[in-house]
Structure 1
Amino acid sequence: MEEVVRGSVSEWEAYLRLRQWVRDQWEDGWDMGAIDFCPPWDAMLILELTRRKLSLGMCTHYATVMSQCCAALGLNARTQIMRSHCINEVWSTDHQKWVAMDIGGDNNDETRFVYHFERDGEPLSAVECHEAWVSDDYADVNVSPAPPPATEGRYEVEKRLRLFERFMISLRTDELRSLEPGESEHGKGSYHYDGYLFWEDDRTKPLPWFSNHTARTADLYWSINETYIHLLDSDGNGCLKVILESPTPNLSHFERESGPEKWERVEDCFDWRPESKGSELCVRSVNHHGRPGVISVVKVLMDD
């Protein structure tokens, strides 16, 4: 997997490279394969079977592979189920938000088109796509990258945004340890597991046969890879105790900026004595894959 993203100049580019690699693994997507089998939520099994053209490969499997390959690389992605489709949302440190990506929306193995939506150059989350659709406000929304001519109009913004009429996220990330609870034949039949979290609003009423619905954006879009800085007066003489915490998956350690483009490892609790008026402290989290998180900054204004 490292070879797929090697040379990426940013985390965002790594996502773009990885999503295309995932789609390119299928030469006969949407075919049930030689053994007429729908694989479960297991990327390693899915990839092994598709190499041998033994099983079904469709949007649910592309999304599963994307999520689990991201996890293997220290990136963050989740599987999202929507109207007759399944996609991913990835956490972009570069954009500091969750971004919806459609890896399995193209059933044409000649084009294998993958994409996301943007508005004024800003990639959109699933709820932003949903709101654009239900409010009929998508004149300035575009598909990125631009669909190739060979897709023959199948990726018009209106057609694809319609899929966001209703969506839900899976709250599980342990499918490699246990296939249950949930649907083992992911996407082949109807969804019945009552552990998904659905979005609802005035224009999207909850489904009575599912229990978990929310209208709170924060329930779907929590922040990760950020570092929270707490400051305490340490000695009453200008020294501050710094306490760091972070909702970074697979957190390894924290780093402090020690100079231009230079970072040093620090503990989650240390003393800091600001040296001058306007002193800044810049810190970030790092996960076990060595991927840095969002840079957090605190500036101290000292009395004369």
Structure 2
Amino acid sequence: MSGYRFSLTPTLICLGLLAACGPNPSQRPFTPGALEPLRLMDAAAAAGYIAGEMQTDIPASIRPRLPFNTLPYNDSLLNVLRDKYDLRGVIAGAQDEWQAQLMLNHWVHTRITNGTPTSEPQNALEILDLAAQGKQFWCSYYAITYTQCALALGWQARKLGLDRYHPEEEGKGSRHHGATEVWSNRFRKWIYIDPQSDLHFEKDGVPLSAWEIRGEWLKDKGLGVEHVVGVPPDTLRKNPAVVWWDLKAEDETSLFFWLFYTDEFSTWEKDSPSKFLFPQDSANAGLTWYQGGAGGKSRLHTGYLNDLFLKTDRLEDVYWTVGVTEAALAGTAKGRLSLSLDSYCPDLDYYEVNLDGQGWKRVEDPANVIWPLNKGASSLALRTINRAGGAGPETTARMLLK
């Protein structure tokens, strides 16, 4: 299982090259199916036009295959959390979604004091209340808080467990850590967030997921990874940046060798309703994850002991997409196309369409979206809108017709 990447740039296509690969579009029947350049060319021909140059930006859409729980935007806990701690005010002034997500990261970092817990709160609301009284918490409580606050703001997020590879010491070498990932509509992927350290990681200016950071460590010990603390424009690049990192001879990106992914809160009990998604590849297949136990002794990771690990060698089972509009060309008529829309989008409210750059309008019937065609340039843009008002990644197509 290797790294994953979604295209962030549009595709510019000369349709003469596509036509050379098969029958002339005027001779080829239109077949309904997923929106893609060749089918769009056939649909335009069926509607009475010849398509010349075409530009498309159709994000990859991956649906979760394994069970995964997420709190809905209108969950009672999230409603109270959002209002009591004025989470919208926390991100007020953000220039875009990504800056807002980093502002939330910084806020959680400053609201909680790092230390050994002396209480057992069950959710972000209780953690923040106790933190305001001076109670201390370690990494997983920061992660729970960020994850639930992100959900309260309409961003999908999940908790992670991570650890370095330490075979010679088994559990004694463990640096088990808790953090989170948040879905970015701007970057069309999951991004690793560490609120305990106010930290994220980048390469070439692009923020990374936990799995991408792992890949960088496996490749060259993370030499090309930037460790970024804070919120732009006031960020600091430093290494190490994890507040408790104590291995001077080892880069902190080694912490990403072992990874599991779970929901906004997990009990670690055998009867937990949430399994831990546990990706496997050639680097960790056949290996065993240990933790440090009582009295400095080594023990198997709790994920094994409580039957919580759900192993998968299919990366898409862990890195699904959120809010991507899945558009299908459903039919044609003279001068127009019809499309149907679908999406994996928790808290989906509605879809929007922008025809020929005339502005976004609400889609009244996702099963029958009409795209009127015109000679010259014809363009289409689609996106999801969730209950928080957040817009998903855009699906776009533009054709020059004659």
In the alignment, what sits opposite 2:182?
A: 90
8 A contact 1:117–1:143 mirrored in 2 = yes
8 A contact 1:20–1:114 mirrored in 2 = yes
**Distance in 2 separating the partners of 1:126 and 1:135:** 14
Q: Which has the larger radius of gyration?
A: 2
Residue 115 (structure 1) shift: 1.3
Counterparts in 2 of 1:300 and 1:244: CA distance versus 1, 3 Å? farther
Residue 75 (structure 1) shift: 1.3
Q: 2:135 aligned with 1:38, yes or no?
A: no
In the alignment, what sits opposite 2:105?
A: 19
In the alignment, what sits opposite 1:239?
A: 336
**What do residues 151-182 of structure 1 show as CA deviations (whole Å, max 9, x unaligned)?**
79977895321110101001x35x5xxx7xx3
Secondary structure of the structure 2 residue equivalent to 1:135: helix
Aligned with 1:263 (options 360, 363, 366): 360
Counterparts in 2 of 1:301 and 1:21: CA distance versus 1, 3 Å? same
Counterparts in 2 of 1:163 and 1:261: CA distance versus 1, 3 Å? farther
Aligned with 1:214 (options 312, 334, 339): 312
Aligned with 1:275 (options 366, 374, 380): 374
Counterparts in 2 of 1:7 and 1:13: CA distance versus 1, 3 Å? same
Q: 2:268 aligned with 1:183, yes or no?
A: yes
Q: How many residues get paired?
A: 275
Counterparts in 2 of 1:16 and 1:261: CA distance versus 1, 3 Å? farther
Larger relative CO (CA 8 A, sep 6+): 1 or 2?
A: 2
* Range with greater deviation from structure 2 (288-297 or 203-212): 203-212
Secondary structure of the structure 1 residue equivalent to 2:114: coil
- 1:1-304 maps to which residues of 2 (within 5 A)? 1-26=87-112, 28-32=113-117, 36-40=118-122, 42-54=123-135, 56-83=136-163, 84-104=176-196, 113-145=197-229, 146-147=236-237, 158-170=250-262, 172-173=263-264, 175=265, 182-183=267-268, 195-205=275-285, 207=288, 209=304, 211-235=309-333, 237-258=334-355, 260=357, 262-267=359-364, 268=366, 269-300=368-399, 302=401, 304=402
Residue 86 (structure 1) shift: 0.6
8 A contact 2:351–2:384 mirrored in 1 = yes
**Distance in 1 separating the partners of 2:88 and 2:253:** 32
Secondary structure of the structure 2 residue equivalent to 1:89: strand
8 A contact 1:234–1:271 mirrored in 2 = no
Residue 128 (structure 1) shift: 1.1
8 A contact 2:156–2:182 mirrored in 1 = yes
Secondary structure of the structure 2 residue equivalent to 1:212: strand
Secondary structure of the structure 1 residue equivalent to 2:130: helix
Letter in 2 for 1:92: S
**Distance in 2 separating the partners of 1:152 and 1:229:** 42
What RMSD over aligned residues (CA atoms) do the two structures have, in Å? 2.8
In the alignment, what sits opposite 1:107?
A: none
**What do residues 168-205 of structure 1 show as CA deviations (whole Å, max 9, x unaligned)?**
001x35x5xxx7xx327xxxxxx996810112212213
Return structure 1 stretches of 4+ with deviation > 4 angstroms.
147-158, 191-194, 258-261
**Distance in 2 separating the partners of 1:119 and 1:266:** 37
**Distance in 1 separating the partners of 2:331 and 2:370:** 10
8 A contact 1:143–1:157 mirrored in 2 = no
**Distance in 2 separating the partners of 1:134 and 1:148:** 20
8 A contact 1:274–1:300 mirrored in 2 = no
Counterparts in 2 of 1:150 and 1:168: CA distance versus 1, 3 Å? closer
**Distance in 2 separating the partners of 1:62 and 1:250:** 24
In the alignment, what sits opposite 1:187?
A: none
**Distance in 2 separating the partners of 1:226 and 1:152:** 33
Counterparts in 2 of 1:147 and 1:285: CA distance versus 1, 3 Å? same
